[in-house]
């Protein structure tokens, strides 16, 4: 069987429910897994900063018995003109998997195409699949199940929102992408997710009205209004997104047991208020922790012999 990538959530669509369960099982093992990935090396290529993705992948492969290698792309030959095709083929001779955080999904796709080892996205401008897996793990832990639950994503229809759409559709959660008309999620992803959801008996819809969207919500989710690589000025973003801020007023419209999620890093006073992120509905630090367990599930599934 050929190697598999995780560049889009859809690359592992059929395995997604198993990945969620495996992450929960590995979390319960509290780092005592034996060493199923002994002798395996993961190259981690970064074009942009990271705290969670870098650390969780490194700790994940270490606790599974393997080893991670941090590669700052600006310090690699690829940052100085070497092609991604050559980089992919060379790294594939040294390591067993490549994690890549890229500005441009076209570079991610090329790396995935030319590498002969699995390529895992650590985010690009289109998707953030590993974040969406940790999000599903968190929702299962906190709410117990997916079916009949409603998640409302508020703010910028970005990479995190795109992957969340696919993941929600696959797991059968209803999702509303509530964003300004000019910052809706990728149209093809929205449509693809809506089709998957229809097969699973759930609903994916768009809204521009937070007051209406948040009625009956079990999860409120947001992310930064200005993603890495986006040059929108802060004052313009604040004007555009202000009504999508997760605050006490929006939270009061949602279901009483509603959880509040954010992939982090957060900008308190912009996409979320300090009161809400520090309040009793917020699960953001459990969500961040679950990056570790989700990463383990991905690495185990893709790199184990
Ligand atoms: N959520 C997330 O991917 O965080 P980092 O940018 O710190 O990796
Ligand atoms: N949407 C954000 C996510 C950061 C983890 C970005 O791309 O910068």
Give the tens place of pLDDT for each residue, 110-165.
Answer: 999 999 999 999 999 999 999 999 999 999 999 999 999 999 999 999 999 999 99
Q: Which of 11, 131, 218, 293 is catalytic?
A: 131
Say how far apart CA 20 and CA 168 lie, in whole Å: 12
Q: Are 241 and 201 in contact (CB under 8 A)?
A: no
Q: What is the mean pLDDT of residues 276-303?
A: 98
User: Does residue 101 have an active-site annotation?
Assistant: yes
Give nearest CA residue, ligand 2 atom 1. Answer: 227
183 is catalytic: no
Domain 13-126+290-302 fold is: Rossmann fold (3.40.50)
Query: How much is the pTM?
Result: 0.98
In DSSP terms, 119 is beta-bridged to: 98
Between CA 234 and CA 80 the distance in angstroms is 31
128 counts as catalytic: yes
Q: Where are the domains of the chain?
A: 13-126+290-302, 130-285
Choosing from 11, 96, 109, 128, which is the catalytic residue? 128
Rounded distance from Cα 126 to ligand 2 centre (Å) = 10
- For residue 242, indicate whether it is catalytic: no
Residue 1 pLDDT greater than 70, yes or no: no
Atom of ligand 1 nearest to the CA of 228: 6
Instruction: For residue 257, give every residue at least 6 positions away whose Cβ sits within 8 Å of its Cβ, in sequence order, or none.
Output: 218
For ligand 2, the distance from its centroid to the CA atom of residue 77, given in whole angstroms, is 25
Instruction: Mark whether 58 is an active-site residue.
Output: no
Close Cβ partners of 301 (under 8 Å, ≥ 6 residues apart): 12, 15, 18, 19, 22
Ligand lying closest to the C-alpha of residue 271:
2
Q: What is the pLDDT of residues 185-203, one digit of tens each?
A: 999 999 999 999 999 999 9
| Cis amide linkage into residue 206, ω under 30° from 0 | no
pLDDT at residue 219 above 70? Answer: yes
Q: Which residues line ligand 1 (CB under 6 A)?
A: 50-53, 123, 131, 263-264
Question: Any known ligand binding at 223?
Answer: yes
Which of 124, 158, 177, 294 to mutate to test ligand 2, by most ligand atoms within 8 A of the CB atom?
Answer: 158
The answer to whether 42 and 69 have CB atoms below 8 angstroms apart is yes
Are domains 13-126+290-302 and 130-285 of this chain identical in fold?
yes
Q: What topology does CATH give the domain 130-285?
A: Rossmann fold (3.40.50)
- Whether residue 24 contacts residue 140, with contact meaning beta carbons closer than 8 Å, is answered with yes
* Strands ordered across the beta sheet of 204-207: 204-207, 174-178, 150-154, 219-222, 259-262
Separation of alpha carbons 265 and 297, rounded Å = 23
Report the nearest-CA residue for atom 6 of ligand 1.
50
- Tell me the pLDDT tens digit for each residue of 17-70: 999 999 999 999 999 999 999 999 999 999 999 999 999 999 999 999 999 999
Q: What's the ipTM?
A: 0.99
77 is in an annotated binding site: yes
Residue 222 pLDDT greater than 80, yes or no: yes
User: In this structure, which residue's CA is closest to atom 4 in ligand 1?
Assistant: 52
For ligand 2, which residues put their CB under 6 angstroms from it?
123, 158-160, 223-224, 227-228, 263
> Catalytic annotation on 11?
no
Please tell me whether 130 is known to bind a ligand: yes
């Amino acid at each position: 069987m050929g190697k598999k990538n995780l560049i889009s959530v859809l690359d592992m669509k059929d395995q997604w429910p198993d990945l969620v369960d495996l992450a929960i099982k590995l979390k319960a093992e509290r780092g005592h897994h034996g060493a199923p990935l002994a002798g395996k090396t993961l190259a981690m290529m970064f074009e942009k900063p990271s705290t969670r993705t870098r650390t969780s992948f490194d700790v994940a492969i270490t606790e599974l018995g393997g080893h991670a290698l941090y590669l700052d792309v600006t310090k690699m030959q690829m940052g100085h003109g070497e092609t991604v095709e050559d980089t992919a083929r060379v790294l594939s001779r040294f390591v067993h998997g490549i994690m890549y955080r890229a500005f441009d999904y076209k570079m991610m796709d090329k790396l995935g195409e030319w590498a002969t080892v699995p390529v895992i996205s650590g985010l690009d401008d289109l998707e953030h699949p590993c974040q969406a897996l940790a999000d599903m793990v968190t929702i299962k832990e906190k709410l117990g199940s997916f079916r009949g639950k409603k998640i409302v994503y508020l703010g910028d229809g970005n990479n995190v929102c795109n992957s969340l759409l696919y993941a929600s559709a696959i797991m059968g959660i209803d999702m509303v992408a509530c964003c300004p008309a000019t910052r809706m999620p990728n149209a093809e992803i929205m449509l693809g997710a809506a089709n998957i959801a229809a097969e699973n008996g759930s609903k994916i819809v768009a809204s521009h009205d937070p007051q209406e969207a948040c009625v009956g919500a079990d999860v409120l989710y947001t992310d930064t209004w200005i993603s890495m690589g986006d040059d929108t000025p802060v004052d313009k973003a604040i004007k555009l997104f202000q009504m999508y801020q997760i605050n006490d007023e929006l939270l009061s419209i949602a279901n009483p047991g509603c959880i509040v999620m954010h992939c982090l890093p957060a900008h308190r006073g912009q996409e979320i208020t300090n009161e809400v992120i520090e309040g009793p509905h917020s699960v953001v630090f459990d969500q961040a922790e679950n990056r570790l367990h989700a990463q383990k599930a991905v690495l185990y599934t893709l790199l184990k012999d």
